[in-house]
Homo-oligomer: A and B are copies of this chain.
Amino acid sequence: MQEKKRMNHVSSDGETEIYYVSPVGYLRREDGRTIIDVLPAFTPALKELENFSHVQVFWWFDQFDDDGHRQTTRFEDMPFDAPVLGVFASRAPMRPNPIGLTTARIVRVNQEAGEVEVADMDAFDGTPILDLKGYLPHCDRVRNVRVPDWASHWPEWLPENGLGLED
């Protein structure tokens, strides 16, 4: 491994590198709509996003940002029929770095207002948003895909209206 060019920060143990992230906006759930309110400093970054059908929303699992959840590496009892799962084989919010990713259909982009309305997202009102990336098939759409047996009965495509919050 090449020598690190740059080290953002080193933790108190002198070994762990630490990087920081900050919200670029927050999720708002209102009247059945799901809106990302982008902070004023970042609204210029929305230019051209309206020409994508879908966006990848990177967000922060803020309710799981504590040492206990972040040290979780395996799940013994998933809420579906699955073997013991490593965190990296799951989408669970308990992860070393609690970064969530949702691919969502764009309903509208209002750059002036700093609003991106999406079809739905499996995230709570007030969730911090870290990044948005327009969905590009050559980066993210896999033609020949294989999943574990326990996931083989799930849909083969993102549902048109996304994955909402579970009841």
- Oligomer: number of copies: 2
Residues of B within 8 A of A132 (CB): 88
CA–CA, A108 and B159, complex, Å: 30
Contact A99 B99 (CB under 8 A): yes
Given contacts A141-B145, A148-B52, contact A134 B89 (CB under 8 A): yes
- 8 Å CB contact of A99 from B21, B54, B96, B146: B21
Residues of B within 8 A of A66 (CB): 6
Residues of B within 8 A of A44 (CB): 73-74, 86
Chain B residue with Cβ nearest A70: B22
Contact B126 A140 (CB under 8 A): no
- Shortest CB-to-CB span from A153 to chain B, Å, is 10
Q: Which residues of A contact B (CB under 8 A)?
A: 1-6, 8, 11, 16-24, 26, 28, 37, 41-42, 44-49, 51-56, 58, 60, 62-63, 65-66, 73-74, 82-91, 95-97, 99, 101-103, 124-126, 128, 130-149, 151, 154-160, 163
20 A-B pairs besides A17-B23, A53-B145, A138-B163 with CB distance below 8 A are: A1-B26, A1-B126, A6-B62, A6-B65, A8-B62, A24-B96, A44-B73, A52-B146, A53-B146, A88-B133, A90-B134, A99-B130, A101-B101, A101-B140, A137-B145, A137-B155, A137-B157, A138-B159, A140-B140, A141-B157
